């Protein structure tokens, strides 16, 4: 299944408290479980992890298509300023040819 990186422009994200980050995480998980067109799609779309920077959050999702990722963002009220499908992954072992 395709993997996507979502760039979310959220001013001040890097200053969010642990409680604010928890609330955002709970909302995202709640959308996956309970909301509208995404009801029961938890097995079709998976939030892998997110990276928080000063003014952006980069989220990694696995989903059948970009539309499902956009629907999740819309249902949760989250920005999705850019969605890019991952074409390849590399890491230090790539240099070794493994």
Q: How many domains does the chain have?
A: 1
Do you know the residue count of the chain? Answer: 98
The domain that contains 56 carries what CATH number?
3.30.70.3090
Residue 41: domain span: 3-87
Flag whether 93 is in a domain: no
Domain assignment present for 97: no
pLDDT digits (tens, 9 = 90+) for 40-81: 555 688 899 999 999 999 999 999 999 999 988 998 899 999
Residue 13 lies in a domain: yes
DSSP, collapsed to helix, strand or coil, labels residue 13 as helix
The predicted pLDDT at position 36 comes to 47
pLDDT at 9: 97
For 72, counting Cβ atoms within 10 Å of its Cβ (0-12 exposed, 13-18 middle, 19+ buried), the class is buried
Do the domain assignments include residue 63?
yes
Residue 95 counted as domain residue: no
The position carrying tokens 């309970």 is 34
Residue 94 lies in a domain: no
In a domain, 98, yes or no: no
Per the domain annotation, does 92 fall within a domain?
no
């Amino acid at each position: 299944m395709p993997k996507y990186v979502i760039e979310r422009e959220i001013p001040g994200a890097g200053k969010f408290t642990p409680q604010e980050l928890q609330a955002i995480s709970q909302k995202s998980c709640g959308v996956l479980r309970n909301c509208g067109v995404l009801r029961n799609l938890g097995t079709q779309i998976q939030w892998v992890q997110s990276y928080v920077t000063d003014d952006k959050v980069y989220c990694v999702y696995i989903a059948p298509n970009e539309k499902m990722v956009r629907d999740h963002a819309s249902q949760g009220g989250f920005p999705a300023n850019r969605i890019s499908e991952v074409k390849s992954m590399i890491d230090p072992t790539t240099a070794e040819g493994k």
